[in-house]
């Protein structure tokens, strides 16, 4: 320990006299050219120098007085703060182990962690990858790493629940749970009736008719219940068979989306019911749609039906 650091420590204790023994008499500073500092306490061989010694591992030693000033004293002794051993440390563990270097508190102070401000919230990610309830997160980063026993870093990621609005495919008025099928032999009945119906002359209906077109949909039959036993339909409505369901313009007039009731999107699975035979129904999967299409003309190889 050099003279400068010794002076610093002794001045600290001198300015805090309550830390010393009540028998304290005097502190004497020798000039720097003597290369060491001493302090004298008459007839007292030891003294207290505060809890700071736990952090500055200093040793109190004595040596016989060599100054004529003390020749009348009985066995005068100088007491001084001895430099610590050469093996000292400057890490976060030295405070606990008591082997810190003498200049630890001002050369190696602890440094707490510091982090940046939170970034913006990321886009909401739905749990199913499409829409609905999901999570979003935001992050921050470390700007100063903790050292020498400094305060550890707080969490760098924060998450919260969010919601992704699902797209509306159709209005509630267009939702029907079961698609109704009619035998294709009635395909001309609706058009003949429409020509004589005054309802079709209404302006709103007339505008819909201008935009409405025929279209065909291929459906693959899945489940078929036991009530579809009629010979006329048993050979056409069976599991694994692909049929053609035709949607006529007149069947779309009471819908808001220009489609027949319960028509699905490609790949969707739904329910169907055959008009006529009692409780003949089942499930199917939509394959594809063809616009400006008639089942009898464009898909003669498939069993045709009408969507009501």
Q: What is the CATH number of domain 114-164?
A: 2.20.100
Q: Coil, helix or strand for 218?
A: strand
Query: What's residue 27's pLDDT?
Result: 38
Percent of the chain exceeding pLDDT 70 equals 61
Whole-model pTM? 0.42
Give strand pairing partners of 113. none
Query: What's residue 101's pLDDT?
Result: 79
DSSP 8-class letter at 154: P
45-76 tens-digit pLDDT: 333 444 444 445 455 555 555 555 555 555 55
Start and end residues for every CATH 2.20.100 domain found in the chain = 114-164
If you average pLDDT over every residue of the chain, what do you get? 72
158-211 tens-digit pLDDT: 999 999 988 765 544 455 578 889 889 888 776 555 555 555 556 666 666 667
Q: Coil, helix or strand for 115?
A: strand
Instruction: Please compute the mean of the pLDDT values over residues 292-300 and round it to a whole number.
Output: 92
Range in 90-104, 237-251, 266-280 the model is least confident about: 90-104
171-180 tens-digit pLDDT: 444 555 788 8
**Residue 297 above 60 pLDDT?**
yes
Q: Write the burial class of residue 113 (CB in 10 Å: 0-12 exposed, 13-18 middle, 19+ buried).
A: middle
Dihedral angle sign, alpha carbons of residues 81, 87, 90, 94: negative
Contacts for 164-168: CB closer than 8 Å, 24+ residues apart: 164/124, 164/125, 164/126, 164/130, 164/131, 164/132, 164/134, 165/131, 166/130, 166/131, 166/132, 167/131
23-35 tens-digit pLDDT: 333 333 333 333 3
Dihedral angle sign, alpha carbons of residues 52, 53, 58, 62: positive
Query: What's residue 83's pLDDT?
Result: 54
* Residue listed under structure tokens 């309550």: 18
Beta strands in 91-249 (DSSP E): 114-115, 125-126, 132-139, 142-144, 157-164, 178-183, 215-224, 242-247
């Amino acid at each position: 320990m050099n003279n400068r650091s010794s002076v610093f420590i002794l001045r600290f204790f001198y300015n805090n006299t309550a830390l010393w023994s009540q028998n304290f008499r005097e502190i004497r500073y020798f000039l720097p050219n003597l290369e060491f500092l001493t302090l004298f306490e008459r007839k007292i061989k030891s003294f207290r120098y505060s809890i700071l010694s736990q952090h500055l591992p200093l040793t109190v030693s004595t040596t016989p007085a060599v100054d004529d000033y003390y020749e009348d004293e009985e066995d005068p002794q100088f007491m001084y703060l001895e430099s610590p051993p050469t093996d000292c440390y400057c890490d976060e563990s030295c405070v606990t182990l008591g082997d810190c270097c003498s200049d630890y508190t001002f050369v190696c102070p602890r440094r707490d962690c510091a982090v940046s401000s939170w970034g913006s919230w990321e886009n909401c990610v739905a749990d199913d990858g499409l829409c609905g309830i999901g999570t979003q997160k935001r992050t921050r980063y470390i700007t100063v790493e903790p050292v020498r026993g400094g305060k550890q870093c707080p969490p760098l990621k924060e998450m919260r629940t969010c919601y992704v609005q699902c797209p509306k495919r159709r209005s509630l008025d267009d939702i029907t749970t079961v698609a109704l099928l009619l035998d294709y032999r009635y395909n001309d009945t609706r058009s003949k009736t429409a020509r004589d119906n005054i309802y079709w002359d209404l302006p709103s209906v007339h505008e819909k008719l201008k935009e409405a077109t025929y279209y065909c949909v291929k459906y693959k039959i899945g489940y078929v219940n036991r009530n579809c036993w009629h010979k006329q339909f048993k050979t056409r409505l069976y599991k694994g068979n692909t049929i053609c369901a035709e949607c006529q313009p007149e069947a779309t007039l009471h819908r808001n989306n220009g489609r027949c009731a319960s028509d699905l999107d490609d790949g969707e699975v739904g329910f169907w019911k055959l008009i006529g035979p009692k409780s003949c129904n089942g499930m199917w999967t939509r394959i594809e749609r063809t616009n400006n299409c008639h089942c009898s003309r464009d898909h003669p190889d498939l069993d045709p039906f009408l969507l009501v």
